[in-house]
Structure 1
Amino acid sequence: MKEFAAFGPDFPFSYDDWLTHPVGLGRIPDARQGASVAVIGAGAAGVVAGHELMKLGLRPVVYESGQFGGRLRSEIFEGTEDVVAELGGMRFPVSSRAFYHYVDRVGCKSMPFPNPLSDAAGSTVIDLEGETLFARSIDDLPNLYREVAHAYDAALEEGARFSDLQAAVRSRDPKRVKGLWDPLVSEWDERTFYDFVTSSEAFRKLSFRHREVFGQVGFGTGGWDSDFPNSMLEILRVNLCRLDDEQRYIEGGAETVLQKLWRLRVECAFWGRSSLSELNGGATRGRVTKITRDASGKVAVTDRWGHTDLYEAVLVTCQTHLLTTSIETDEALFDQKLWMALDRTRYMQAAKTFVMVDRPFWNDIDPETGHPMISMTLTDRITRGTYLFDNGPDRPAVICLSYSWMTDALKVLPLDAETRVELALSALSHIYPGVDIASHIRGNPICVSWEADENFLGAFKGALPGHYRYNHRMYGHFMQDHLPTEQRGIFLAGDGISWTPAWVEGAVQTALNAVWGILHHFGGETDPQNPGPGDLYPEIGPVSLD
């Protein structure tokens, strides 16, 4: 059986099979090869789409408003070459098969991510309401924690036939997946994650304390309470595709995957052997300030320096809110119902605070407790999640002192980096009163608040109840044969367009949808032996609620 993949459930298409088939993704007619396509955004979606469009024989012209890499941003600590703070995506589930296709393609290596209660973490400390617990596995925790874990498993079975659904996903049976999933869409679209939990028979038998612990600590990647207001469909997808299981991090930083893919020379139609970097003269264009339709029918893209180029196709991978805030976008390019979806997209806040330390001192054993000096930590204090990254015994190590979302992220939004570190150290001093973390810190801290970045205005989409129709409009926009001529030729991609926001696999899969859409737009076609997402979309596409 193939490796488990994030296969659907809304659109159960095998992207990794499409990518690896020996006949390739398709063919552009000879007369159209060499044509330029604008790609707005040099994050995962933009770079992946650009790479594949280049191989087909088109010329992707990449625009970037800020820093290359988008939300796969790896910032190197000063004075080092490869000690990084992962400001965006930092943990990548092995079910992200399309993403790992490119990780393997460029030769990047990955390691198990030190999530709570995982072997990679070694040990975990849970600190709630002043009570501090040390554990190496869930069996070391009080029975209440096992009751919470079992209750959530039971709730998934009760409310979603979870084991049957996951078996269908594992076997990559699209008809079976849709037969089980599609009825859940109408049943759960307008209900929150919290409603799913509290209305389940399993949790109704338990106390409020159990639900509180589930929200504060959760299992797998940590607490779930920041997602409680979200549509339950969004959470079901995460669980079903095992996006919160078996996660890994990229050695040297996730951004290196995109940097290497940008420079990777491959055999291309029309171009011969080339790379995205070479086709772009070694650098991206600047920030896009205007997108409109030219009198000739082509799409005009203007950068911050006033330079305008015309394109038959444009791929937009930036956060959708930028189309109404920082990019002057011709309203006629999108249907008003799609504009409603783009504008109603709700982005969640996220903040991280990193420090570099002299060595992985947490591996030292406290002689009084027999435990490591500090551990991966989940707490209700301001830090929420603290993660430890060991680069080897004789090398500087990294501590993510705090990773928080929503209200907890907003608490530190106006604060500078040093103040954030001081607050985090103060909180951790109550959990580890005898450990002087500050004495190990080297260099300057690195912090991020994605909602404060003008190029993002938020970390990632968090769909609210009732947002399925909006997501459906955005996701399916690459299918353009039914659109009026004035709305064709502009495509959308990115994790915010996907059904799985905050996960790079969603960015990669929607980028590949857009590749098929652009291929089709230029009169190209896929090989019958290897149909693409647009070929199968009418048959196994997302269910409509209208």
Structure 2
Amino acid sequence: MTAITAFGPDFPFAYEEWIAHPAGLGQLPKDVHGTEVAIIGAGAAGVVAAFELMKLGLRPVVYEASQFGGRLRSRTFEGTKGIIAELGGMRFPISSRGFYHYVDLAGCESRPFPNPLSAAAGSTVIELEGQRHFARTLQDLPPLYQEIAEAYDTALREQAAFPDLQAAVRDKDIAGIKALWNPLVRDWDERTFYDFIVNSKPFQKLNFRHREVFGQVGFGTGGWDSDFPNSMLEILRVNLLRLDDDQRYIVGGVENVLHRLWNLSVPCAHWPDGTTLASLNGGATRSRATALTRAGDQIRVRDQWVNETDYPAVLATCQTHLLTTSIETEEDLFDQKLWMALDRTRYMQAAKTFVMVDRPFWNDIDPATGQPVMSMTLTDRLTRGTYLFDNGPDQPAVICLSYAWMTDALKVLPLSAERRVELALGALSKIFPDVDIASHIRGEPICVSWESDENFLGAFKGALPGHYRYNHRIFGHFMQDQMAPEHRGIFLAGDGVSWTPAWVEGAVQTSLNAVWGILTHLGGQSAAGNPGPGDLYPEHGPVDLPD
């Protein structure tokens, strides 16, 4: 059976096939070769777009406000080689074929992520309201958990056209996808995830306890109560594209994918052999972009040192709120409907707390129970999710003591790293009273709260009911042929621009949209036999909802 990929459903386009096609993405007029274009942000969207624009013969000039990698941020523990904490993206579903195209190009290795109840985790402990359950598979848990899983599967089948819709995605059947998905958009845009659950017939046969446990533990990777207020369309896409299943991590840190692309030499139009993004940028990115203004038919970028450069095209991959808080953006660069969409984009909070330990001591067996002394853990306590990373024999191991979202993330926002660790250890001691985790900790903890970072102001987008129209405007902004001249030449990309926020595949797909947009804006066109996203967008683009 063909594997499901992130094909649509709003815009069904096979990005992974487009970028792998032997004809390439397109051609630019020769007099445009070597032209500088600005890329704001050296995260996944920025580096992927810069990489493809370099191949087309342009000179991408990359600006970065802080750390190369964006939210693909792999922090190495002090004094180690390759022992890392993944502060941003850390688990990558195999359906993200566009992203894995670049993983393979970069020569990076991936392995199964130790999610709850997965073989990679080995064992899982779920502890809610003081009741503890040890499990290796769903079948090891009490019937309540299986009832929840069955109810959710039934609700998807009865209310959301599963599994027919998933079969259409698997088969890349565009007409089939549109016939099933477009009516769901009209019906579900203004309904929440919780509304979907509570009003589904399968869950109505159950009780509040089932909904409560579903929110705490969820399916796949953990609890979903933080997403209960979100638009159900956001969750349907995750289910449909199997973004919450079959996930892997990148050995040595996902940030390496971008560093390797930065230094990777590939055949390019115009540029000589051996050219890399690093060489085109003098070995380093430019500083923080602080202003965007119109300068005739060019767009002027000012950096933090008040250096100004004019470009015929600019790609902004930063989170949209930065266009009003950190970057002085001329209002006329976007029309007012797009500004409404950019300003209303909602970002969710997320916090992680990591420690390095001397060894994977959790593999020790408790002689009294015959079970590992500690397991991957889901709980209603402060930690919410605790993940265990075994780096192999004779290597330190890593524990993500706590991965929490929204209210749970805000609880630790003002706290020091040391205090966060103390609270996490206190919570875990209630679940594993005989395990002295602190005795194994080495070095300093590593923590992140994305909402407190001035360069992000949140972890990822979480669309609310009624936000479909906003997402449609932002995602489709790369189609500029019908725009007023004063709005052309500036492009947007990133997972928050995509239909699948929080997933790097969304960053990849929107960056490729922008590549097509910049290619055509500068007088180029797609390669013969390999139409790009903008060539097919008028026919296969997202359904319009009336204002």
In structure 2, the partner of 1:152 is 152
The CA deviation at 1:474 is 0.1
In structure 1, the partner of 2:396 is 396
| Alignment partners' CA distance in 1, 2:383 and 2:277 | 40
The CA deviation at 1:81 is 1.3
In structure 2, the partner of 1:279 is 280
- The 4+ residue runs of structure 1 with deviation greater than 6 A are none
Q: Give the aligned length.
A: 545
Per-residue Cα deviation, 1:176-201 (whole angstroms, up to 9, x for no partner): 11111001001000000000000000
In structure 1, the partner of 2:123 is 123
Matched, 1:19 2:19: yes
Matched, 1:424 2:424: yes
| Alignment partners' CA distance in 2, 1:448 and 1:470 | 29
The CA deviation at 1:2 is 4.7
| Alignment partners' CA distance in 1, 2:3 and 2:218 | 26
The runs of 5 or more residues in structure 1 that have no matched partner are none
The answer to whether the 8 Å contact 2:64/2:288 transfers is yes
What is the identity percentage for the equivalent residue pairs of Structure 1 and Structure 2? 74
| Alignment partners' CA distance in 2, 1:96 and 1:297 | 37
RMSD: 0.6
| Alignment partners' CA distance in 1, 2:249 and 2:487 | 39
The CA deviation at 1:3 is 3.6
| Alignment partners' CA distance in 1, 2:144 and 2:416 | 38
| Alignment partners' CA distance in 2, 1:256 and 1:28 | 30
The answer to whether the 8 Å contact 2:356/2:397 transfers is yes
Per-residue Cα deviation, 1:373-428 (whole angstroms, up to 9, x for no partner): 11000000000000000001211000000000000000000000000000000000
The answer to whether the 8 Å contact 2:21/2:530 transfers is yes
| Alignment partners' CA distance in 1, 2:19 and 2:267 | 15
In structure 1, the partner of 2:445 is 445
In structure 2, the partner of 1:517 is 517
Per-residue Cα deviation, 1:93-139 (whole angstroms, up to 9, x for no partner): 00000000000011000000000000000000000000000000011
| Alignment partners' CA distance in 1, 2:285 and 2:126 | 45
| Alignment partners' CA distance in 2, 1:392 and 1:34 | 46
In structure 2, the partner of 1:290 is 291
The answer to whether the 8 Å contact 2:23/2:528 transfers is no
1:268 alignment partner, SS class: coil
In structure 1, the partner of 2:77 is 77
In structure 2, the partner of 1:500 is 500
Equivalent positions of 1:26-41 (< 5 A) are 26-41=26-41
In structure 2, the partner of 1:413 is 413
TM-score under structure 1 normalisation? 0.99
| Alignment partners' CA distance in 1, 2:441 and 2:94 | 32
The CA deviation at 1:174 is 1.0
The answer to whether the 8 Å contact 2:44/2:258 transfers is yes
The CA deviation at 1:463 is 0.1
2:403 alignment partner, SS class: strand
The CA deviation at 1:479 is 0.1
TM-score under structure 2 normalisation? 0.99
In structure 2, the partner of 1:366 is 366
Letter of the 2:313 partner, please give it: A
The CA deviation at 1:504 is 0.1
Per-residue Cα deviation, 1:49-93 (whole angstroms, up to 9, x for no partner): 000000000000000001000000000000011000000000000
The CA deviation at 1:369 is 1.1
Matched, 1:209 2:228: no
1:323 alignment partner, SS class: helix
| Alignment partners' CA distance in 1, 2:92 and 2:426 | 30
| Alignment partners' CA distance in 2, 1:221 and 1:117 | 9
Per-residue Cα deviation, 1:326-371 (whole angstroms, up to 9, x for no partner): 1100000000000000000000000000000000000000111111
Letter of the 1:438 partner, please give it: A
The CA deviation at 1:31 is 1.1
In structure 2, the partner of 1:233 is 233
| Alignment partners' CA distance in 1, 2:490 and 2:447 | 34
| Alignment partners' CA distance in 2, 1:297 and 1:104 | 38
In structure 1, the partner of 2:265 is 265
Equivalent positions of 1:130-169 (< 5 A) are 130-169=130-169
| Alignment partners' CA distance in 1, 2:479 and 2:118 | 41
| Alignment partners' CA distance in 2, 1:444 and 1:379 | 25
Per-residue Cα deviation, 1:192-212 (whole angstroms, up to 9, x for no partner): 000000000000000100000
The CA deviation at 1:529 is 0.6
Equivalent positions of 1:324-403 (< 5 A) are 324-403=324-403
| Alignment partners' CA distance in 2, 1:504 and 1:88 | 10
In structure 2, the partner of 1:316 is 316
The runs of 5 or more residues in structure 2 that have no matched partner are none
| Alignment partners' CA distance in 1, 2:174 and 2:82 | 42
| Alignment partners' CA distance in 2, 1:441 and 1:447 | 15
In structure 2, the partner of 1:47 is 47
Letter of the 1:288 partner, please give it: A
Per-residue Cα deviation, 1:421-449 (whole angstroms, up to 9, x for no partner): 00000000000000000000000000000
Letter of the 2:532 partner, please give it: G
| Alignment partners' CA distance in 2, 1:422 and 1:112 | 29
Letter of the 1:94 partner, please give it: I
Letter of the 2:478 partner, please give it: F
Matched, 1:218 2:218: yes
1:132 alignment partner, SS class: strand
| Alignment partners' CA distance in 1, 2:527 and 2:26 | 6
1:281 alignment partner, SS class: coil
In structure 1, the partner of 2:537 is 537
Letter of the 2:203 partner, please give it: F
| Alignment partners' CA distance in 2, 1:160 and 1:96 | 22
Matched, 1:250 2:250: yes
1:46 alignment partner, SS class: helix
In structure 1, the partner of 2:527 is 527
In structure 2, the partner of 1:171 is 171
The CA deviation at 1:219 is 1.4
1:100 alignment partner, SS class: helix
| Alignment partners' CA distance in 2, 1:363 and 1:80 | 22
